[in-house]
Amino acid sequence: MRASSVLITLFGLVATGLAEKSCTPSFDYCSDYLIQSKGFTEADLKAVLKGTDLENADLKNVLFHCKNPGDVGHAVLCTSECKNPATEGSHKCDG
């Protein structure tokens, strides 16, 4: 396989992985929901927290805000676990 073919294949795989991330802007999401249902990885979410006071927080206790489709930030630490709603919608801290 030629080097250019390998690069094109790798670029396609990376672009496909990025395109799969999806969230509804202005909604808040628990980390487990983002990972299980919205195409994010644990590494994606830890990268969002890097350099913040939540960098070492347990992801199950963090609520992420969707800024744009596929882009989360504005993380908030919940006093207990993040709570997933029964239906699609903004998630919240449990307590």
Write the DSSP string, 54-69. TTTS-GGGEEEEEEET
Domain map (residue ranges) of the chain: 22-93
Identify the pLDDT of residue 20.
Answer: 87
User: pLDDT digit string (tens) for 52-69?
Assistant: 999 999 999 999 999 999
Q: What is the pTM of this model?
A: 0.75
Neighbours of 4 (CB within 10 A): 8
Reported confidence tier of residue 2, pLDDT bands at 50, 70, 90: low
For residue 33, give Cα distances in angstroms to 51, 64, 71, 82.
23, 10, 14, 10
User: pLDDT digit string (tens) for 36-47?
Assistant: 999 999 999 999
For residue 44, give Cα distances in angstroms to 24, 47, 71, 82.
17, 5, 10, 18
**pLDDT higher than threshold 80 for residue 75:** yes
Identify the pLDDT of residue 62.
Answer: 95
